Structure 1
Amino acid sequence: MITSPALLSDDGLYDAIAETEARAREVHARRLALLSEFVARGLDVADYRQITRADPGEVKRWTLQARWFLPTQSPTGQPVAPLYPTTAAVVTELSEGHLREIARALDRQLPDGSEEILVQAALSVEPRAVRHLADRIHLQAVADAADEVDEPAADPGDLLWLRDLPGGRVEFSGELSVESGAQLRAVLEPLSQPRADDPRDLAHRQGEAFADLVALAMRSGGLPSEAGERPHISITLDYGTLRRGTGHAVLDGGRYLSAAQARRIACDAKTIPAVLGDRSEVLDLGRARRTVSLAQRRALHTRDRGCAFPGCPRPPKWCDAHHIRHWADGGSTDLDNLVLLCRHHHSLVHHSHWRITLSGGVPAFIPPRHIDPAQQPRQNLLHRQPTDPATTHADAA
């Protein structure tokens, strides 16, 4: 008897979802085996479509998956190994969507070793991330990287108004020329695409994308200085608030933000903390070992090659340098305690139970038990070859 979902505990609900998905993948593998036998007997595929009420395109995809990922028999009855044995070995662990993307990728004749990389990714990320990975491999194999094009100067007619709101938020509005507006859309649209696990509307996604653009400009090094300093943010808070992550901090101009926000911002450079003791004396102003140097950021770009969270395609320039063990908790600003994260996954790591380790100098992410009871480390295979996650070098506090 199947228990109603409403009667399940939280742990029971997680377990039921995992069990149902495992059964669905086994059922699809069985579907492929039956279809393979159906075709091998020379039966009419139109009859199969009548039985299953499946679209012709679906049946075509399933037939290809069966031919590539299942063992067959020769005309004399001898067993024939699958064309792609790496995928075949885990076919019951992959969804139809994962098998579809792997088949799509292999049909493009990717370089040797690509199947192994795609299968390893498919065991830990959604099908769309597998597609992104296959596209990366394909582009790397057939084309040189596109030359970067300098953006033209902003049109003098562009207008922008800013207004402070209660609570520290800022309202802005403006008008852009056709050219500037097209450029803004061009950079916002890829950054604000919906994710499978993202329920937000377009306005919220575009707002985060615009904030990413501002953060990128802050890191660019090309902004003019003011009073001999490059643009920066000054945050004042007492040391206990910084350690606890509760309470509030004060920005320039007297605006407030939460201590949790201050902790996240303080992970990266261009933020100068004025940490006050019990008597409000300045204990530390821009501690040199907290902020990430230009040389360290370049090393992180080379090592992580973008957001290190599994399946994230964001490039390095859209990422923050995150302390694996937070600076306020005694973490050092050394490469073995730093990782590149995009804004979305930076916030996720700060507000969830994901843990980060370094395996062979490469970041690996350990999911919470409700996502993976075995808590197998995951790496972002969109940016680099996998390494052995068994040996960890640094762990989150």
Structure 2
Amino acid sequence: MSDTRLLSTDELLRGIVDGVTEIRIREHSVMQKIAELDRRGVAAELGYKDLPHVLRHAVRWDRKTARKWVTHAALLSREITPTGSVLAPALPVVAEAAAEGALSVEHVGVVAEVMKALPAEAEEPVVGFAREHEPSAVRAFGKELAYRLFQNDPEPRDAEPAPPVNQHVMRWKNGYLEIWAKLDTITGAKYEALLDPLAKPRPTTADEGPDLRSRAEREGDALADLVDLMLRADQLPEHGGEPVTLTLTMRYDDLADQVGQAMLDNRERVPADQVRQLACNAGIIPMVMGAKSQPLNVGRKSRTFTAGMRRALVARDHGCAFPGCGRPPKHCDAHHIHHWADGGDTSVDNGVLLCRHHHRLIHHSGWTVTMVQGIPVFYPPRWLDPLRKPRRNLIHTAA
């Protein structure tokens, strides 16, 4: 075995990628053996209730883990009929990718979960996405894909659901006011939009150092600030260079025809009738894509993206544009693709929304981003993909 201290960083990372691939290939082999045990009815043969109970003793898995492996094994194995015919696995594309070591057991479970709401032909794109992203991103992609595929289907004729009821509970305990609330989609989005800019970490200073507060503490302090600000209603906070604004995105024809749904920054859907009602209120800014009245390009006059530019970036990127990231626009910075310091201008065509984590990653790692036909496209470092194949955020643009 070679001394890892003598390997370069790229060699170490490549070795980890190759090693995990080998582990996943072995996992697939184990699942094939589990499926064969299940077919043989080994549990009854050995006097156990079911196969998960056998595996609990055989490999010391807890019951939940054992059940997961048995379930996933059944999805990836070929079935043999009583007449001897061999049937393809329930998820053939998943089975092929798992056999190559491209998917983990967790990936298999998430793909199986999202495929319950999708037609069989969607398995190919879902697995293609899973080959490049973690399971949580696959779940978000599947949810978005299901919405896009079925958004034009007729609504089921179920009974009208009861309208959402906002709830708020206050209780004093040991000198503190404990608050619990349950808010409908629109109210919740407004509340989130008000609180978020106040909950950002404080800048690091020589006197105070970095902000060590947890997220819960920062949001608690933000709520206290919001109470004070509401007592001074003319001094409400700004976010992204403009007063706190609720942004909804939808096609103008749908809004005019009162059909379809709009999407909030947090990716929640709002029916057209509620959008039309909201559009009557101050603070809702309608956007027509490509409108000449929007200041979409200010050249080199300003490094900071204007409020109009940010609204255009939100309408295009719908959140962090990095592949697999589901962060909403309110958690994102506008990044210069061609760095401002290197001569890049401040424009929508040279901007992309990135959350703080991925903004830092683009600045300090081997990841790069370019614009291709008006859409941000990302290229991974060579240790991750020697061919550096282009990637996009398909969660925000599932088709």
What band does the TM-score fall into relative to the shorter chain?
0.5 to 0.7
**1:146 maps to which of 162, 166, 185:** 185
1:270-315 alpha-carbon deviations (Å, 9 max, x no partner): xxxxxxxxxxxxxxx9944654344433332122110011222211
Q: 1:3 is aligned with what amino acid?
A: S
Q: 2:127 is aligned with what amino acid?
A: V
State the Cα distance separating 1:27 from its structure 2 match.
0.5
Change (3 A) 1:72 1:364: farther
**1:308 maps to which of 321, 325, 329:** 321
State the Cα distance separating 1:112 from its structure 2 match.
6.5
SS of the equivalent of 1:347 reads: helix
Change (3 A) 1:361 1:119: farther
Return the alpha-carbon distance in structure 2 between the equivalents of residues 290 and 183 of structure 1.
28
Q: Which runs of 5+ in 1 are unaligned?
A: 155-161, 188-215, 224-284, 387-397
Return the alpha-carbon distance in structure 1 between the equivalents of residues 372 and 78 of structure 2.
35
Return the alpha-carbon distance in structure 1 between the equivalents of residues 363 and 40 of structure 2.
56
Assess if the C-alpha contact under 8 Å between 1:164 and 1:170 holds in 2.
yes
**1:70 maps to which of 63, 77, 101:** 77
Change (3 A) 1:54 1:360: farther
Relative contact order (C-alpha < 8 Å, sep 6+): which is higher? 2
Q: Which runs of 5+ in 2 are unaligned?
A: 44-50, 156-160, 162-183, 195-201, 227-236, 245-297
Return the alpha-carbon distance in structure 1 between the equivalents of residues 371 and 39 of structure 2.
48
**2:346 maps to which of 300, 319, 333:** 333
**2:243 maps to which of 218, 222, 225:** 222
**1:369 maps to which of 378, 382, 395:** 382
State the Cα distance separating 1:172 from its structure 2 match.
11
Q: 1:37 is aligned with what amino acid?
A: E
* Aligned pairs (5 A) from 1:168-207: 181=220, 184=223
Assess if the C-alpha contact under 8 Å between 1:71 and 1:80 holds in 2.
yes
Instruction: Tell which deviates more after alignment, 375-384 or 329-338.
Output: 329-338
Change (3 A) 1:303 1:106: same
Q: 1:73 is aligned with what amino acid?
A: I
Q: 1:82 is aligned with what amino acid?
A: P
Return the alpha-carbon distance in structure 1 between the equivalents of residues 94 and 203 of structure 2.
56
Change (3 A) 1:163 1:360: closer
Q: 1:75 is aligned with what amino acid?
A: P
Return the alpha-carbon distance in structure 2 between the equivalents of residues 3 and 125 of structure 1.
30
Assess if the C-alpha contact under 8 Å between 1:322 and 1:338 holds in 2.
yes
Return the alpha-carbon distance in structure 2 between the equivalents of residues 362 and 312 of structure 1.
16
TM-score (normalizing by structure 1): 0.60
Which runs of at least 4 in structure 1 moved beyond 6 Å after TM superposition? 138-145, 167-173
Return the alpha-carbon distance in structure 2 between the equivalents of residues 124 and 321 of structure 1.
25
**1:51 aligned onto 2:64:** no
Instruction: Tell which deviates more after alignment, 143-152 or 90-99.
Output: 143-152
1:118-167 alpha-carbon deviations (Å, 9 max, x no partner): 32332122223223444555788799992245449x9xxxxxxx999548
State the Cα distance separating 1:53 from its structure 2 match.
2.3
Assess if the C-alpha contact under 8 Å between 2:241 and 2:307 holds in 1.
no
Alignment partner, residue 29 of structure 2: 30
Change (3 A) 1:73 1:50: same
Change (3 A) 1:362 1:69: farther
Q: 1:125 is aligned with what amino acid?
A: H
